[in-house]
A and B are shown apart, each in its own frame.
Chain A
Amino acid sequence: MSENEPLLSVQNMEKHFPVTKGLFKRQVGAVKAVDGISFDVFKGETLGLVGESGCGKSTTGRLVTRLLEPTAGKIVFEGQDISHMGQGRLRPLRRDMQMIFQDPYSSLNPRHTVGAIVGAPYRIQGVKTENGVKKAVQDILELVGLNPEHYNRYPHEFSGGQRQRIGIARTLALKPKLIIADEPVSALDVSIQAQVVNLLEDLQKELDLTYVVIAHDLSVVRHISDRVAVMYLGKIVEVADRKSLYSVPMHPYTNALMSAVPVPDPKVRKDRDRIRLKGDVPSPLNPPPACRFHTRCWKAQDICKKVEPPLAQMAEGHQVACHFPENAPELPAAETAAKTG
């Protein structure tokens, strides 16, 4: 896969939201929601974006679908630079790029029937369907595991899991190439989560879809992704394929995140020494200088406060932005510092 051109390529993308004050809206600062991130998404793969709240993962999703305009950097979709394209020129591209939202309660219009919701993309894009829109919508409803006869029902008549399926049906209507799923299962019950995760995987195989899955749940992301990018305060701190990220995580933050996930095994809790991170994520309004994780990192030294570590290749397909990565094969010194918080 990786020999080909990426389907989506993001280069040094930034989004700073201005903070204004006073009558004349003088800008007094900026929330650096996304602060220079680069990644590629190849056809047919699933890239997972994980991080805690406020790390900029949702903003990233909204930027690549161009629901927001980046303040700097480039977004290239299928070879076209879309970073500052106007709405008119974006519209035809929206067919190829769709989004699944987190909350299946607020992302469906309660006054529209399922038929109207799933059929809207055809109407808006002016797409002709062979046997009429109704038939096309019913086919898609069937594809996502809903009863096609529920065409005339309203969203409130469905359960959370079914609503999420309606949302997925809507994104699939125009046969997109890239789907950005922002927390697609976090609002659902455990047993329903698994159904939707399986559905997303089946659809990917069947329709040759490419996914960017944004989630805070590391186990869901591991299950669904081929590659995973970990974000912290607007930066990507580590990118790797799923296997090496979860078996040899290099960035201290990734390590801390993984050790924080509660393990559903009562025996494990007793003999596990967890990395305890101190404090909370700092505000993106005023992020720490240089390495943004240094305020909470147990390995931080002077250099971490002065020089920002670049996102560097440490192993095949494994990039890390850290001065003192763990498990790094090349660096023999300094990596076995005590893991105490």
Chain B
Amino acid sequence: MSFLDVKDLKIHFPTDDGLVKSVDGLSFGVERGKTLGIVGESGSGKSVTSLGILGLHKGGRARLSGEIWLDGEELIGASTEHVRSLRGKKMAMIFQDPLSSMHPYYTVGQQIIEAYRIHNDVSKQVARKHAVDMLGRVGIPEPARRVDSYPHEFSGGMRQRAMIAMALSCDPELLIADEPTTALDVTVQAQILDLMRDLQREFNSALIIITHDLGVVAELSDDILVMYGGKCVEYGSAEDVFYRPEHPYTWGLLGSMPRLDREPTERLLPIKGSPPSLINVPPGCAFHPRCPYAERTGDKATTEVPALAETEGGHLVRCHMSREERRGLWENEIKPVLETQ
């Protein structure tokens, strides 16, 4: 069993308009020292998954089922109290928007100290010293002075660093970063990605990075999980997903993206239509209304949900087309077009 093992996780929200199946049968694992990238568009269920792992849906209206094993402990059945005691110490999260996820009324230092003292029986002075250390570790200049600053006195990049310091203050073994750099400029994004990579190496924690940016995923991930409509559609090593992708949605994402590392093309190759509503996920394969190859599998596309099947060495794909058909399409049709980009 991996350090984090998620099995058939379902997170459903009953609403007046119907049942929203945000996450519908997701399974994955992450080892210590490894990074999993979760990619998907808005509404694919990637953030809901991360909140689910942290136990932040408890007490809400969400209906959870499945299993989440963290270091041999099951979390879905565990008490709220117990999950709370793990949060911060065993697992921590870096949120997308550091300004709205830090408390504006308290100094950055107070917020780190609070989290540290909940899990460690130390005096305020010791905790404060630790906070200064952490701020220094993540590259904030003059940490001894900045520890008394309020979040609004920090720039965007510094706030994100402070948030990382806070998340790492108790040496969590699992760190989840939900769009950690989306709100940042590219030069600052590069700094934060470098920092996260260095810190992960130092702490040997398991890292889950959730993003819509394939570039960010490629920078950090060992494994990649592509989500669509609450389900995993492709899972594999970074090399599998970038060099041998087999799901039409992954092809679509790769074709939609203008790339700086290749010669520019005349046109991008977008996916037609827009992501599905989670109340009304299309029957059969959720991607079929947007899939250019849906007709190849006939009625099956609209009536039967394809299984997530292994194609080779841990590379999983959820598609009705046969392995040979997908590989043929990738090698002969998709790859040549993408490579000329």
The interface of chain A, by Cβ under 8 A from chain B, is 52-53, 159-162, 189-195, 197-198, 201, 216, 218-220, 222-223, 242, 246, 256-269, 274, 276-277, 279-281
Contact = CB atoms under 8 A, between A and B. Distances in A.
B185 A262 contact: no
Given A262-B216, A276-B190, A276-B194, A161 B261 contact: no
Interface in B183-242: 185-191, 193-194, 212-219, 221, 238-239, 242
B28 to A, nearest CB: 18
B64 interface: no
Contacts, number: 134
28 contacts: A52-B188, A162-B274, A189-B42, A190-B214, A190-B256, A190-B257, A191-B41, A191-B275, A194-B268, A194-B270, A218-B186, A219-B259, A219-B260, A223-B264, A223-B268, A246-B260, A256-B187, A261-B215, A262-B215, A262-B216, A263-B219, A263-B260, A264-B218, A276-B191, A277-B187, A277-B191, A279-B141, A280-B188
Contacts of A190: 41, 212-214, 253, 256-257
A52 B215 CA distance: 18
Given A260-B187, A261-B186, A261-B215, A280 B157 contact: yes
Most buried by A among B187, B252, B253, B254: B187
B41 A264 contact: no
B242 A266 contact: yes
Contacts of A259: 190
B186 A216 contact: yes
A198 B258 contact: no
Contact of A194 (B42, B189, B255): B255
B179 to A, nearest CB: 13
A263 B242 contact: no
Contacts of B267: 198, 201
Nearest to A53: B185
Interface in B18-50: 41-42
B41 A189 contact: yes
Interchain residue pairs A-B with the least CB separation, the first 3: A262-B215, A194-B270, A194-B256
Nearest to B216: A262
A280 B218 contact: no
B40 to A, nearest CB: 9
A223 B255 CA distance: 13
Nearest to B215: A262
A274 B239 CA distance: 21
Interface centre among B218, B221, B268 (most CB of A within 10 A): B268
A220 B260 contact: no
B258 A223 contact: yes
